[in-house]
Amino acid sequence: MDQVAKHITFSGEVQGIGFRFTALNVATQYHLTGYVRNLPNGMVEMLAQGPAQDIDDCIRNLQESFAGYVREAKTEDAAFDPKHKGFKITF
């Protein structure tokens, strides 16, 4: 399967609610690589790499899990970077 990369920014009340830890668990279930981190502006940034459908399913899962908190998930294509060997929380 072709590997793609997507840069996602989640806005709303997404910090301080366990979002990053849930993102880590969900991304790991889909065998994605990349990272998730809080941004100073209150948003959460995620880089997800793997099959496009798995990334889309991961994003949908997070939006459903945090339906009362995520206002928007903005997704943009990104360059695939093979240096990401797993998925992690960064700071």
The one catalytic residue among 38, 41, 60, 71 = 38
* 71 flagged as catalytic: no
Degrees (nearest 5) of the Cα angle 48, 81, 91?
60
What is the rounded CA–CA span in Å between residue 15 and residue 6? 21
Which listed residue (20, 25, 41, 71) is catalytic?
Answer: 20
Q: Reply yes or no on whether 38 is catalytic.
A: yes
Catalytic residue list: 20, 38
